[in-house]
Amino acid sequence: MTTDLHLVIANKAYSSWSLRPWIAMKVKKLPFKETIIPLAETDTSAKIKQFSPAGKVPVLLHGGIAVWDSLAILDYLADQFFDQHWWPSDPHARALARSISAEMHSGFTHLRSNLGMNVRKTFAARPHAPEVEADIARITAIWRECRTKFGAGGPYLFGDFSNADAMYAPVVTRFKTYNVSLDPVCAAYSEAVLNLPAMQEWYAAAAVEPWVVAKYEATP
């Protein structure tokens, strides 16, 4: 099978789902072609459907195979490029990494709805609704558990960067955007993710994107 990889994503300023496979592939140094389809334009849906049968991004194209959904893409990459160690090797750590990634994938709806991703903005800290605070508390508890149990080998959730970090990378950007107060363990973890060259590349590209979607720019 060809090793050519083509990742189709949405705006880097706003697309949390797109960031996940993109940053993982960058950290693992997988070369890939990138196509950006801007959100909220008249032809956005039609353009996405040229690549994704689900009509959603991100979608990974590889050797005639189309894989959509961030977590599915990360699992596909782990299968195809297993020498890159996308998940922790320790079975206990790997089980936890998969569990928290699935929890991120299906949960935290209040955080998503109220603290939308916008890496071009920084808002003043403010109180959040109780359900948002509950999501924040759960996420930070997850980070502390992973760092305490399995993080000795490096600055990320399981020491080395893994798919679990890719899944939580958009949350790191949200916490930065909305000035969410973090304990020292979570603050150090967030800083490590934000300092990744790949993350800095993402921020730099987002800063010069010409597209603006008003609903993502509004002050909360």
The percentage of residues in the chain with a pLDDT greater than 90, rounded to a whole number, is 91
Average per-residue pLDDT in the chain? 95
Integer Cα distance of 195 and 189 in angstroms: 10
What is the fold of 91-202?
Glutathione S-transferase Yfyf (Class Pi); Chain A, domain 2 (1.20.1050)
Chain region(s) in the chain for CATH 1.20.1050.10: 91-202
Residue 1 clears pLDDT 50, i.e. is over it: no
Question: What integer is the mean pLDDT of 161-187?
Answer: 98
The percentage of residues in the chain with a pLDDT greater than 70, rounded to a whole number, is 99
Question: What integer is the mean pLDDT of 96-125?
Answer: 96
- Over residues 138-155, the pLDDT tens digits come to 999 999 999 999 999 999
Query: Is the distance from CB of 193 to CB of 199 less than 8 angstroms?
Result: yes
- Over residues 69-109, the pLDDT tens digits come to 999 999 999 999 988 899 999 999 999 999 999 999 999 99
Integer Cα distance of 32 and 26 in angstroms: 9
- pLDDT for 218: 78
Contacts of 182 (CB under 8 A, 6+ apart): 140, 175, 190
Chain region(s) in the chain for CATH 3.40.30.10: 5-84
Residue 7 clears pLDDT 50, i.e. is over it: yes
- Over residues 17-68, the pLDDT tens digits come to 999 999 999 999 999 999 999 999 999 999 999 998 888 899 999 999 999 9
**How many CB atoms within 10 Å of residue 188?**
14
Q: What pTM value is reported for the model?
A: 0.96
State the architecture of 5-84 in CATH terms.
3-Layer(aba) Sandwich (3.40)
- pLDDT for 3: 65
Residue 2 clears pLDDT 60, i.e. is over it: no
Q: How confident is the model at residue 135 (pLDDT cuts 50, 70, 90)?
A: very high
Integer Cα distance of 161 and 195 in angstroms: 13
Q: How confident is the model at residue 215 (pLDDT cuts 50, 70, 90)?
A: confident
Question: What integer is the mean pLDDT of 181-186?
Answer: 98
- pLDDT for 189: 98
What are the start-end ranges of the E strands in the chain? 5-9, 33-36, 59-62, 65-68
What are the backbone angles phi and psi of residue 125, rounded to the nearest 5°? -60, 145
Per the structure block, which two tokens stand in for 9? 């994503």
Q: Which of 106-110, 184-188, 211-215 has the lowest mean pLDDT?
A: 211-215
